[in-house]
A and B are shown apart, each in its own frame.
Chain A
Amino acid sequence: MKKTQTIKLVLVSLSVAAAFLASSGCRHAAKAPSIYDESSELPVVYPDYVETTFPPNIAPANFMIEEDAQDYVVRLTGADGAVVCVSGKKAIFPEKQWRKLLNANRGGKIAVDVFVKKDGKWLKYKTFENDVSNDPTDAYLAYRLIEPGYDYGHRIALAQRHVENFDEQLFFDNRNTASSPCVNCHSFQDRKTDRFLFHYRRTDDPIHGGTIVVNGRQAVKLSGKVDVDGINCTYPSWRPSGDLVAFSANYTRQFFHSLSSQKLEVFDAFSDLVLMDAAKNEIRVIAKTDDEFETFPYWAPDGNTLYYCSAHVVPNTTQDSPEVRVEEMVKRATDLRYNIYKMSFDESTLTFGTPELVVDAASQGRSALFPRISPDGKWLVYTLAESGTFSIWRPEADLYLLNLETGDVRAWDEVNGGDSDSYHSWSSSGRWLVFSSRREDGQYTRLYLTHVDENGVATKPFVIPQRDPEHNRRRYKSYNVPEMIVEPIKIDYRELVKTAKEEPLGTKNL
């Protein structure tokens, strides 16, 4: 063979290999078998997209059939008779056809037939139906990607996901800075991306630590230091309008259990509430008490009430020696039980009213956390755990629903799973709620979406779809602090990186 022929052969082979690789993800439409046996059982599919409700604008709910067989066919049928049919163990639906099917069946149902071929014969499982809601969900989700780890924060990224397709973009990655700091607690103003903030800190680099506040396409880093406690602003909540952000300032530590499915305990040695004017870079103390550990502030939709959690503790040590306090709180961490309170707010004087008890969990020996009010102000969803402040590590943590108009409260059983159900966020319409849950394996949080009707009844939650249904099994990262947003992040990612590398502006304490 001549040299040129050899070269051509190599090039052709490479092209074929490239074409094969490029086409490996493609699926072709399939045809459902006409002759088959029928089973009365529902198929076992992963993720569990059986008899749930989808928003009309959700990405294709691809799933895999958890069974070994010779061949597989999945058929989706709309009320109008429209059919989408795919083959393979992984049912991956073409995006265009999926969208068309959902739009055509808004307010209706989609029937799902699963066929498997075993020993040369087709078997059809019991048909199940998924509802398509009339209410679209917010198009974007912002969350933190973090290993459910322990004491390393090697790679932490803030990401946004377009839920109408599978696009996931990192809008901040701690790898792009020198010291891989912790990046946490992102908070958006009224679910829009013009104004948001997140923390950027590392214990061994106090110089560059701070809170990055985004305003339009500009960002600035503020120290966010609370002089009175000597600690930083921690859990934030933007007031729906204006420049004010309520923070809790927490002295947070963690320790590890030697025997428990809850391997990690995060606790506060002390915490207080502060109010920051993000434009003026000023902080004023809202609540500074030694025997109340206030945390997790959250503004009501009208911006005139601040909800927050607080645990009543009478410490034997003072805040002046934080590490001594930590030692005490390590022993008392599981005794910390939080209630939910609210305070009225006067914007003109920047003053808060007297705290009012909203959820009394401590008296029942439990801990109520993460109050989130629906946009219509009717519902308050919170997490209830046995104790402590970090419910994500508490397997028994469940979501509870409080009707703020009637005061009725109930465990949200239709939503709760077998493991920690924790951080949650309402959509702008108040019809969808995203929350993180460890129900899949007790370790890695995944994001679930549920539809909530006007009576507070939720549908069976479903995990946010991925292009490859196995993606969530492969990804050894947790989806943390999900927040629904109505638009994509606008600020240039490089602007954020640049800001992160700057020294923070000292925050003025009033």
Chain B
Amino acid sequence: MQETLASAPTMANRRKRVFTQETLTSLAFFLFLWYFWGVRYGDYLFAAQENSIFLYDYEYFSRWLQVPEGLLCYATSFLMQFFYFPILGGAILAALTIAGQILMARLAELKGVARLTSFLPGAFVAVSSTWPAYYVYIPYEQPLIFSESLAILVALGGFALYRAFENKRWRSLLGVALVVVLYPLVGFWGFFATALCCAWELARLLSGWKERDVRKVALGGVVLLALGAILAPLFWHWESFYLSIKSNDVFLRGLLEDVRYDKSSLVARVAYGGAALAPLTILIVLFVARTIACRPKKAPSARRVARQEERYRARIVAKENKRKARENDSKRKGKSETRSDPLAGLSEEEKRARFERERERARVRLVWELLVVLAAFVFLAAYHTKSFFIVLKQTRALAVEDWEEILRVEANDLFPINPEIQMRNLALFYTGQLTERAFERPVGGLATLPVTGYDYGRALHGNLLCKFKVKLFTLRRDTEQCAERVLCELLYCYWGQTNIAARIATNNLIASEDRSASFLRTLAIAAMVNGEDKLARRYLRTLSQTLFYRDWAAVRLAYLETPGFYEGVRDYHDDEAFGELLKKRQEERPRAASDEDAAKRYGVDVDEIRNVAATVLRMRELRPVVDYTTTRGYPNLVFLYQLAKEEEFDESPRDRQDIILISALMQKKKDFFLEHIEPILKKEYPNGGAPKAYEQGYATWRFQAFGRDKWKDCDYKFSPETIELFEQFADYIVAVQGVSGTSSDEVQEVLRNSCRGMYWGYASDESVFNHY
């Protein structure tokens, strides 16, 4: 009896247990968010930080201050630079979210199940921050995507500070200060903070906690705050809104200021407009929850108590019996035991204590179950296709020129989409495997189907969740279309198309308000390849002021000083004046005596400089041989097509010739391919053994031109493997003749699975290319 009483819940140990539960739930959600951000969306965070930048100088700071929410974006940018290490970034985001959650729970005095509502803002922020999907690569103000986590904390902090002031005059002053200071600094979230203060004052007023005169002051404070909340933004935007004041703009503009170019788009409306409305949602949630939490508890009806007690009794009995059964099992195996009522013999008080304990356990269990549901909701609502995550991984690998990683990641996807294949082709080239493995995958290069026609359809028909999401928001279609633009400027750059790369990167840099490490990096690379050292230095100087790109920039800055920097710079087409100018520049520029000297000046490893030099040289070799003109706008991502300038084939280095030939295969330029491949096979592979793409591409054309019997009758010795594959294919064609055409999907599939290079080479139907 003594023992039972001791274990009964007292006020002290209950508080302790609740505290432990609260801490545990927060900790669990922190761990979940850490995993969500740091692991699941780690590459997403990395991509976001690549498209933002944080500089340690006053000018950068002051530029941010010129826009509403500027300080918030500045602070978020500061944090975002640590997303370079996604685990760290995940921890930061999770910590901010949980800090906001704890603050919210405390301010609203949320207990028990009601406390779960304080997890909602973090959950919504997680979902809304990942919805932009491929837009994470598109020039936006990236900090805006993540600023809500910080903003909630700032707003709640302002509110907490306000509440801490007991003196009503000081409090009124602080309220006005919050309006005046927070709005310019954190935009809409300033209004949110003041709205919280207003609502709190109102709640106090209505509950009649204070005397009549205090009510007057409080009412005055509310009016003042409300006026301030309206007037401060008006004042701030007076210049801009003088002519067309729209009430919704006044508050939304802050958030949308820097995404205004696309503010009419669905993505902007959903991702940013939704985020702008989030505070209102949180406000409602907060006060509804608080109201519920603070509502005086009604005494439950006798019938309800009886039902509850019956339920708890059943649980206790079941649990007790289970325990006893376990004990019996261990003591007397096989012998049955009489089940008894464990509550029998206990006093009413003791029974109530047991019931109370069981109620507490049920509540805790409910909290945990709801938390799991919430986590599952976050996970599922933030759904993206596998391709999306693969593209994220590939782009991260591309940023550090990890070609093997690009290939490895892409190999795991059975249905690679356009950007995956584009990056794969590039990686194949830089690892010297393009001519061998160019056609291993189902799509690629010119013939790559747009993701919206492939992955989108798959999502619609194959994945219920995706289908649901697409149907509801049509957001995915919009964003997936952006996959075409993912790092396209950098890819162009690596293909040697530096002028196109610079054009797109400049456009993107403009759109990102010059705050993007990724675009600056591409521009620096393009300038280096072009031999424009002064221009490269400008971009590199900016990057060298960052925390995590400074080493990257230092190596390149050192490379600019090396004696070999101008090696292989392609002359300026046929314009002698440009050529002369370039030479003059080269001669004028003081250089380091050697690579080692340059490395010493910048404190970098000389091998790193040489690696950079090797890559740059390769890219220079890929530059066009003759100048040709392109029109404005975004070209599609048909890199190899862009490179396939037939007229410059003979003048190009061997590497570039390979690319042109592969491109010709992809484009089904039969005559061109045959014209050039035959001499190459004859000269370089007189005894056979050409790369698979060449051999099977050549075989395909011959097969098509001369038929099954004569296709092998040429000087080139086809490998037994190719001969066997084509024989099999011929058998297959005979088998399916009359059933389906040779360009049907099925035949294409067989070709793809059996023969490298045949796939694109065989089909004569050009319609697949029409949309390009």
A466 to chain B, nearest CB (A): 10
Q: Which residues of B contact A386 (CB under 8 A)?
A: 575, 577
Encoded as 1 (CB less than 8 Å from any B CB) or 0, chain A from 128 to 169 comes to 000000000000000000011111101100000000000000
Could you tell me if A260 and B507 are in contact, using CB atoms closer than 8 angstroms? no
Could you tell me if B534 and A151 are in contact, using CB atoms closer than 8 angstroms? no
Contact stretch, chosen from B96-104, B265-273, B536-544: B536-544
Q: Which residues of A contact B532 (CB under 8 A)?
A: 261, 441-443
Within 8 A of A (CB), among B62-90: none
Q: Which residues of A contact B537 (CB under 8 A)?
A: 441
Could you tell me if A257 and B627 are in contact, using CB atoms closer than 8 angstroms? yes
Q: How far is the CA of A155 from the CA of B514 in the complex (A)?
A: 12
In this assembly, does B582 line the interface, its C-beta being within 8 Å of a C-beta of chain A? Answer: yes
In this assembly, does B623 line the interface, its C-beta being within 8 Å of a C-beta of chain A? Answer: yes
In this assembly, does B260 line the interface, its C-beta being within 8 Å of a C-beta of chain A? Answer: yes
In this assembly, does B511 line the interface, its C-beta being within 8 Å of a C-beta of chain A? Answer: yes
Q: Which residues of B contact A4 (CB under 8 A)?
A: 164
Could you tell me if B538 and A473 are in contact, using CB atoms closer than 8 angstroms? yes
A118 to chain B, nearest CB (A): 15
Could you tell me if B535 and A260 are in contact, using CB atoms closer than 8 angstroms? no
Q: How far is the CA of A317 from the CA of B244 in the complex (A)?
A: 47
Also in contact, A396 and B581, with CB within 8 A (given A7-B161, A258-B500, A259-B623) = yes
Contact stretch, chosen from B17-25, B26-34, B221-229, B628-636: B628-636
Also in contact, A258 and B624, with CB within 8 A (given A7-B164, A24-B58, A474-B542) = yes
Q: Which residues of A contact B581 (CB under 8 A)?
A: 261, 395-396, 418-419
Chain A residue nearest in CB terms to B508: A152
Q: How far is the CA of A162 from the CA of B510 in the complex (A)?
A: 26
Chain B residue nearest in CB terms to A263: B499
Could you tell me if A256 and B499 are in contact, using CB atoms closer than 8 angstroms? yes
Q: How far is the CA of A150 from the CA of B499 in the complex (A)?
A: 11
Q: How far is the CA of A257 from the CA of B627 in the complex (A)?
A: 6
In this assembly, does A330 line the interface, its C-beta being within 8 Å of a C-beta of chain B? Answer: yes
Which residue in B58, B497, B502 is a CB contact (below 8 Å) of A25? B58
Contact stretch, chosen from A34-42, A337-345, A371-379, A492-500: A492-500
Also in contact, A258 and B578, with CB within 8 A (given A152-B507, A154-B261, A493-B239) = no
Within 8 A of B (CB), among A148-203: 148-152, 154-155, 175-176, 180
Also in contact, A254 and B510, with CB within 8 A (given A24-B58, A261-B530, A395-B581) = no
In this assembly, does A48 line the interface, its C-beta being within 8 Å of a C-beta of chain B? Answer: no
Encoded as 1 (CB less than 8 Å from any A CB) or 0, chain B from 530 to 559 comes to 101011011001100000000000000000
A42 to chain B, nearest CB (A): 14
In this assembly, does B209 line the interface, its C-beta being within 8 Å of a C-beta of chain A? Answer: no
In this assembly, does B626 line the interface, its C-beta being within 8 Å of a C-beta of chain A? Answer: yes
Q: How far is the CA of A95 from the CA of B306 in the complex (A)?
A: 85
Encoded as 1 (CB less than 8 Å from any A CB) or 0, chain B from 227 to 257 comes to 0000000000001101110000000000000
Q: How far is the CA of A260 from the CA of B165 in the complex (A)?
A: 66
Q: Which residues of B contact A180 (CB under 8 A)?
A: 261
Within 8 A of A (CB), among B404-452: none
Could you tell me if A263 and B502 are in contact, using CB atoms closer than 8 angstroms? yes
Could you tell me if A261 and B572 are in contact, using CB atoms closer than 8 angstroms? yes
Also in contact, A258 and B534, with CB within 8 A (given A7-B165, A176-B240) = no
Within 8 A of B (CB), among A377-426: 386, 395-396, 418-419
A502 to chain B, nearest CB (A): 11
Could you tell me if B570 and A147 are in contact, using CB atoms closer than 8 angstroms? no
Within 8 A of B (CB), among A249-298: 254-263, 265
Which residue in B57, B503, B511, B627 is a CB contact (below 8 Å) of A259? B627
Could you tell me if A256 and B575 are in contact, using CB atoms closer than 8 angstroms? no
B528 to chain A, nearest CB (A): 13
Encoded as 1 (CB less than 8 Å from any A CB) or 0, chain B from 596 to 634 comes to 000000000000000000000000000111111111110
In this assembly, does A501 line the interface, its C-beta being within 8 Å of a C-beta of chain B? Answer: yes
Q: Which residues of A contact B506 (CB under 8 A)?
A: 147-150
A203 to chain B, nearest CB (A): 11
In this assembly, does A444 line the interface, its C-beta being within 8 Å of a C-beta of chain B? Answer: yes
Could you tell me if B240 and A152 are in contact, using CB atoms closer than 8 angstroms? no
Q: How far is the CA of A4 from the CA of B165 in the complex (A)?
A: 8
Interface of A is mostly: loop
In this assembly, does A10 line the interface, its C-beta being within 8 Å of a C-beta of chain B? Answer: yes
Could you tell me if B499 and A260 are in contact, using CB atoms closer than 8 angstroms? yes
Also in contact, A468 and B631, with CB within 8 A (given A263-B503, A396-B577) = no
Also in contact, A497 and B503, with CB within 8 A (given A440-B534, A474-B59) = no
In this assembly, does B713 line the interface, its C-beta being within 8 Å of a C-beta of chain A? Answer: no
A388 to chain B, nearest CB (A): 11
Chain B residue nearest in CB terms to A262: B578
Considering residues B243, B542, B588, B625, which has the most beta carbons from chain A within 10 angstroms of its beta carbon?
B243
Also in contact, A175 and B260, with CB within 8 A (given A258-B500, A259-B573) = yes
In this assembly, does A3 line the interface, its C-beta being within 8 Å of a C-beta of chain B? Answer: yes
Also in contact, A468 and B59, with CB within 8 A (given A386-B575, A441-B538, A473-B538) = yes
B661 to chain A, nearest CB (A): 20
Also in contact, A10 and B161, with CB within 8 A (given A396-B581, A418-B581) = yes
Could you tell me if A255 and B632 are in contact, using CB atoms closer than 8 angstroms? yes
In this assembly, does A96 line the interface, its C-beta being within 8 Å of a C-beta of chain B? Answer: no
Could you tell me if A418 and B630 are in contact, using CB atoms closer than 8 angstroms? no
Q: Which residues of B contact A148 (CB under 8 A)?
A: 506
In this assembly, does B361 line the interface, its C-beta being within 8 Å of a C-beta of chain A? Answer: no
B643 to chain A, nearest CB (A): 10
A270 to chain B, nearest CB (A): 19
Q: How far is the CA of A262 from the CA of B57 in the complex (A)?
A: 32
A226 to chain B, nearest CB (A): 24
In this assembly, does B585 line the interface, its C-beta being within 8 Å of a C-beta of chain A? Answer: yes
Within 8 A of A (CB), among B557-607: 570, 572-573, 575, 577-578, 581-582, 584-585, 588
Also in contact, A260 and B572, with CB within 8 A (given A154-B261, A255-B630) = yes
Q: How far is the CA of A261 from the CA of B529 in the complex (A)?
A: 11
B480 to chain A, nearest CB (A): 23
Also in contact, A152 and B58, with CB within 8 A (given A261-B530, A262-B578) = no
Also in contact, A258 and B497, with CB within 8 A (given A263-B503, A476-B509) = yes
Could you tell me if A494 and B239 are in contact, using CB atoms closer than 8 angstroms? yes
Q: How far is the CA of A154 from the CA of B508 in the complex (A)?
A: 10
Q: How far is the CA of A180 from the CA of B626 in the complex (A)?
A: 36
Considering residues A4, A262, A471, A476, which has the most beta carbons from chain B within 10 angstroms of its beta carbon?
A476
Within 8 A of B (CB), among A3-17: 3-4, 7, 10
Could you tell me if B503 and A258 are in contact, using CB atoms closer than 8 angstroms? no
Q: How far is the CA of A492 from the CA of B630 in the complex (A)?
A: 42
Could you tell me if B626 and A259 are in contact, using CB atoms closer than 8 angstroms? yes
Could you tell me if B499 and A151 are in contact, using CB atoms closer than 8 angstroms? no
A222 to chain B, nearest CB (A): 20
Within 8 A of A (CB), among B486-513: 497, 499-500, 502-503, 506-507, 509-511
Q: How far is the CA of A396 from the CA of B579 in the complex (A)?
A: 10
Q: How far is the CA of A255 from the CA of B635 in the complex (A)?
A: 13
Q: How far is the CA of A147 from the CA of B631 in the complex (A)?
A: 19
Could you tell me if A258 and B629 are in contact, using CB atoms closer than 8 angstroms? yes
B753 to chain A, nearest CB (A): 37
Q: How far is the CA of A148 from the CA of B527 in the complex (A)?
A: 15
Which residue in B538, B582, B630 is a CB contact (below 8 Å) of A256? B630
Could you tell me if A258 and B630 are in contact, using CB atoms closer than 8 angstroms? yes
Could you tell me if B503 and A256 are in contact, using CB atoms closer than 8 angstroms? yes
Could you tell me if B585 and A418 are in contact, using CB atoms closer than 8 angstroms? yes
24 contacts between A and B (CB under 8 A): A3-B164, A7-B164, A148-B506, A149-B507, A154-B511, A255-B629, A255-B632, A256-B503, A258-B497, A259-B499, A260-B572, A260-B573, A260-B578, A261-B572, A265-B629, A330-B629, A396-B577, A418-B588, A441-B535, A442-B534, A444-B538, A468-B59, A476-B510, A494-B242
8 smallest A-B Cβ distances: which pairs? Answer: A151-B632, A441-B534, A476-B514, A396-B577, A259-B627, A441-B535, A255-B629, A147-B510
**Residues of A participating in the B interface, judged by any CB pair closer than 8 Å:** 3-4, 7, 10, 24-25, 147-152, 154-155, 175-176, 180, 254-263, 265, 330, 386, 395-396, 418-419, 440-444, 468, 470-471, 473-474, 476, 493-494, 497-498, 501
